[in-house]
């Protein structure tokens, strides 16, 4: 039987209201294909757009999502540090949120990911 590891996946968020919901949805779909033991952490680094409202809505939909808020912008390095310190699983993965939704769709080979990614993640 294949050994499964636990995974913490995180990404910083700063004024990424246009892409953050898609990133969380894609991360959820990806991680559940690898293991049953995972968490998704989003570190909001003092966003002034609608990122926080979106993240609050997503917490109700994704039980493994944990949102960590910096009250003011501390910078990218601090957001990474918070992510690494907050991760509780055996393996840690981090990535950027500043990618375009179209780019993710073009590279998503999995039809389930494509189908779910195109839906409104707050539904």
Output 22-28 pairs: Cβ under 8 A, ≥24 positions apart: 22/101, 22/104, 22/117, 22/121, 23/95, 23/97, 23/99, 23/104, 24/55, 24/58, 24/62, 24/65, 24/121, 25/116, 25/117, 25/121, 26/104, 26/108, 26/113, 26/117, 28/62, 28/64, 28/65
For domain 7-117, the CATH superfamily is Spore Coat Polysaccharide Biosynthesis Protein SpsA; Chain A (3.90.550.10)
pTM: 0.77
56-103 tens-digit pLDDT: 999 999 999 999 999 999 999 999 999 999 999 999 998 876 654 444
Helix and strand element counts for the chain (H, E):
5, 4
The DSSP 8-state label assigned to residue 50 in this structure reads: S
Q: Is the per-residue pLDDT at 26 higher than 70?
A: yes
Confidence band, pLDDT 50/70/90 cuts, at residue 122: very low
Q: Are the C-beta atoms of residues 37 and 6 closer than 8 Å to each other? A: yes
Backbone angles phi, psi at 43, to 5 degrees: -100, 105
């Amino acid at each position: 039987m294949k050994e499964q590891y636990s995974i913490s996946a995180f990404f910083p968020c700063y004024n990424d209201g246009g892409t953050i919901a898609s990133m969380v949805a894609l991360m959820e779909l990806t991680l559940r294909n690898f293991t049953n033991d995972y968490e998704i952490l989003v570190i909001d680094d003092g966003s002034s757009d609608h990122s926080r409202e979106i993240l609050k809505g997503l917490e109700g939909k994704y039980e493994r999502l944990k949102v960590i808020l910096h009250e003011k912008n501390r910078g990218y390095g601090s957001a990474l540090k918070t992510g690494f310190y907050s991760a509780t699983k055996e393996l840690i993965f981090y990535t950027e949120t500043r990618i375009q939704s179209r780019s993710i769709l073009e590279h998503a080979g999995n039809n389930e990911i494509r189908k779910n990614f195109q839906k409104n993640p707050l539904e």
